[in-house]
Structure 1
């Protein structure tokens, strides 16, 4: 629970733009999303890029695993709006000096990219961001490895099942919060809940002051938030 519930655009603004596209991210920044949630993989030449899946099949006109292409080779493929797969540094450039929270997911639950933690953290530290980045992953080991690289960060575990001993887990792994696809009423633990697009559910979560709502339609969620605050 927290004082204010922040609204995060899940993969940018997929209700209006291709997911994890720079156009979607820019729109969300310009139209006052509290935060952006997005996913990071590494290319064959260790360039951090933004995409949800480990393969490009679903969201581009190409096929295959991201890690089998160099970044230059990846530029041959396009999202449905004609954009190429964005680099992490492209989004960091958009977000620099802007009042926007970033929730960066290390996408390592299917493929573990060697040294992704240091590569990503070193890159993020090169940019002037208004708020500290929130790092998340389904891989507890990734979060522990990231903590070894840079301990003064916010690391949050993603989970799609109820957690039996969340406090002990958080202490053991130096976690700052939990990102769940269900709501567990936990006192004094920052919970961000995904992916919530139903206004009635959003109202309940806002009433309980969860730390964040991660949604495909941040503008709708913002309207719900305003109505609750009136």
Structure 2
């Protein structure tokens, strides 16, 4: 399975509606994206802690209300074609995914530990409001606090642990969370590590692979999903 990273980050500004449309057009069935809270506690789709890199503004995402975030231009940094692109809410995004039969790998983006529980609570409310289907969703995070709270408030949702380190030392500790998947930086994955993850019954997902010539190797190691900036290339491979 191929998942577009932040939509299709090589084709459109990441984590935007245009990026999700590009991933959809490429034939990807899964899209990976990030959510965090605005100042008025609305889950929005954005990766960085600050708006500096991907908008024409400056400052912490958490210091902007949703309406203030929507007033920023989040497309022109990528290309003049996308001038006027807006930051969108999780709710808007979920509705787009439902309309287009897309699967979501939703990363709970925690920049500080105290953000974990409020963000998970807000995400849970939005998922319930739109009645997003569990079978089309994986919630993932680097944050063990976020995953633990997800398990408490949304016990039926599939959970994925994201890591850029060897996950094996953590898996025993994380057993109470009944994880569905482990999401590993492809740069650190080795065949023996992959086997131990899959032998434990967990699905193996890698990020962010953009060299399509390596795809078959990782699949032979038991990788079930490849997250890539180039879904258009990988879907055709």
Same fold (TM over 0.5): yes
2:205 is matched with: 192
Residues 162 and 183 of structure 2 are in contact (CA less than 8 Å); yes or no, is this contact kept in structure 1?
Answer: yes
Which of 117, 141, 148 is residue 144 of structure 1 equivalent to? Answer: 148
User: Would you tell me which structure has more helix in proportion to its own residues?
Assistant: 2
Q: How many residues matched?
A: 219
**Any unmatched runs of 5+ in structure 1?**
1-5, 225-230
Query: Counterparts of 1:155 and 1:177 in 2: how far apart (Å)?
Result: 7
Which aligned pairs between 1:1-230 and structure 2 lie closer than 5 A?
6-79=1-74, 80=76, 81=82, 82-110=84-112, 112-113=114-115, 114-129=117-132, 131-182=135-186, 183=189, 184-185=193-194, 186=197, 187=199, 188-224=201-237
Which segment drifts farther, 168-177 or 84-93? 168-177
Query: Counterparts of 2:23 and 2:114 in 1: how far apart (Å)?
Result: 30
Query: Counterparts of 1:69 and 1:167 in 2: how far apart (Å)?
Result: 36
TM-score (norm 2): 0.86
Q: Which has the higher contact order (CA 8 A, sep 6+)?
A: 1
**Any unmatched runs of 5+ in structure 2?**
77-81
Task: Quote how far apart the aligned CAs of 1:31 are.
Answer: 3.3
What SS does structure 2 have at the residue aligned with 1:158? strand
Q: Aligned-pair RMSD on alpha carbons?
A: 1.7
TM-score (norm 1): 0.89
Segments ≥4 residues shifted beyond 6 Å: none
- Distance of aligned partners of 1:45 and 1:62 in 2 relative to their CA distance in 1, 3 Å threshold: same
